[in-house]
Amino acid sequence: MNYLKTAVLLAVLTAFLVLIGGSVGGKQGALMALILAGAMNFGTYWFSDKIVLAMYRAKPVDETASPALYGIVRELTMKAGMPMPKVYIMDNETPNAFATGRNPEHSAVAVTTGIMKLLSKEELTGVIGHELSHIANRDILIATIAATIAGAISYISHFAYYASMFGGRSGDDDRGSNPIVGIVMMIVAPIAAMIIQMAISRSREYGADFRGAQIAGNPLYLANALRKLEYYNKRVPMHMPSEATAHMFIVNPLSGGSLIKLFSTHPPIEERVKRLEGMVGKV
């Protein structure tokens, strides 16, 4: 199912690029956009995880560099019967974490320095269990590609706007540039990016919480961690290279008003905690 969703997302990216190319440069622009879409689809599938890790300047660590974190990941992967993912640390005081990769054999878990300072070993175990469940459920491919596509849509919409304002290619068979089209793209594209994110984020978080609690061995580990993470992320929101990657994190790293809440890619923490507490004695 996730491979089908991936194909749909890549098709959406292709269609959106062709639409923008046609609106800015006519038939020739649409053709160039189609070629660009093919290249982006290839790069997005094979390199989206590396792109996201590079965006956050995540550094790989081994057992020598970070024995506590590496030990937790290794212990839980052995318990779950999974391949050992690569382990990364982001130099960021906001406590958070995410998983990325195209499949369990090519996966990575990344945590911030802030989360390692904030959480106890048991709570960090709950968080890692959650992220490993995303890997086991193969959520990470769709999430990482969605992040890359959402970011691309946002940047391309800005390009379309400025291209339409400063003039585009015109000819007998091509329409000239249209500033109205550019303005519409500026409005619609970020909404389209949010829809892509929301379509794949909320339900998978509940599933990852459930299986993550099973992997960690105690649902209260993750429940307690989520309470702390929500509290500190509201007070120390993350400065992000792109808001398009927000849905990848275990809790929403953004802070804002009603608009941010309206387009939130994460289910309410109180509901997640309630479900986890309901698992006590059943794991």
Which amino acid would we find at residue 250?
I
Q: Which of 33-37, 212-216, 272-276 has the lowest mean pLDDT?
A: 33-37
Cα of first residue to Cα of last residue in the chain, in angstroms, is 27
DSSP secondary structure code for residue 93 in this structure: S
Distance CA 29, CA 41 (A): 18
Q: What is the DSSP string of the chain?
A: -HHHHHHHHHHHHHHHHHHHHHHHHHHHHHHHHHHHHHHHHHHHHHHHHHHHHHHTT-EEE-TTT-HHHHHHHHHHHHHHT-PPPEEEEE--SS--EEEEEEETTEEEEEEEHHHHHHS-HHHHHHHHHHHHHHHHTTHHHHHHHHHHHHHHHHHHHHHHHHHHHH-----SSS----HHHHHHHHHHHHHHHHHHHHHHHHHHHHHHHHHHHHHHS-HHHHHHHHHHHHHHHHHS----S-GGGGGGBSS-----SHHHHHT-SS--HHHHHHHHHTTTTT-
Report the pLDDT value the prediction gives residue 190, as an integer from 0 to 100: 63
| 171 occurs within a structural domain | yes
Task: Summarize pLDDT for 128-144 with one digit per residue, the tens.
Answer: 999 999 999 887 777 66
Number of domains composing the chain? 1
pLDDT exceeds cutoff 80 at 78: yes
Select the more confidently predicted residue: 192 or 139: 139
184-197 average pLDDT score: 62
How does strand 106-112 pair with strand 97-103? antiparallel
Asked if 131 is an active-site residue, the reply is yes
Distance CA 170, CA 28 (A): 10
238-243 average pLDDT score: 77
Report the pLDDT value the prediction gives residue 11, as an integer from 0 to 100: 73
Report CA 275 to chain centroid distance, whole Å: 23
What percentage of the chain carries pLDDT values higher than 70?
Answer: 63
Report the pLDDT value the prediction gives residue 165, as an integer from 0 to 100: 60
pLDDT exceeds cutoff 70 at 17: no
Q: Which of 166-180, 215-229, 266-280 has the lowest mean pLDDT?
A: 166-180
Report the pLDDT value the prediction gives residue 126, as an integer from 0 to 100: 98
pLDDT exceeds cutoff 90 at 177: no
Select the more confidently predicted residue: 9 or 227: 227
- Boundaries of domain holding 138: 2-277
pLDDT tier, 197 (very low <50, low <70, confident <90, very high otherwise): low
252-269 average pLDDT score: 65
| 153 occurs within a structural domain | yes
What is the overall mean pLDDT for the chain?
Answer: 80
Report the pLDDT value the prediction gives residue 178, as an integer from 0 to 100: 55
* Continuous H helices in 81-120: 113-118
Name the one residue in this structure whose structure tokens are 């992997």: 215
Report the pLDDT value the prediction gives residue 41, as an integer from 0 to 100: 65
Distance CA 88, CA 212 (A): 19
pLDDT tier, 174 (very low <50, low <70, confident <90, very high otherwise): very low
Report the pLDDT value the prediction gives residue 169, as an integer from 0 to 100: 47
| 283 occurs within a structural domain | no
Task: Summarize pLDDT for 27-41 with one digit per residue, the tens.
Answer: 776 777 677 667 766
Q: Which of 16-30, 65-79, 266-280 has the lowest mean pLDDT?
A: 16-30
Distance CA 209, CA 271 (A): 11
Name the one residue in this structure whose structure tokens are 């059943």: 282
| 44 occurs within a structural domain | yes
Looking at mean pLDDT, say which of 24-28, 50-54, 117-121 comes out highest: 117-121
Report the pLDDT value the prediction gives residue 219, as an integer from 0 to 100: 97
| 282 occurs within a structural domain | no
Q: What is the DSSP string of 213-255?
A: HHHHS-HHHHHHHHHHHHHHHHHS----S-GGGGGGBSS----
Active-site residue identified among 123, 131, 230, 243: 131
| 247 occurs within a structural domain | yes
Distance CA 257, CA 148 (A): 25
Residue 242 region by backbone torsions, left for phi larger than 0, else alpha for psi between -120 and 50, else beta: beta
pLDDT exceeds cutoff 60 at 95: yes
Select the more confidently predicted residue: 228 or 145: 228
pLDDT exceeds cutoff 50 at 170: no
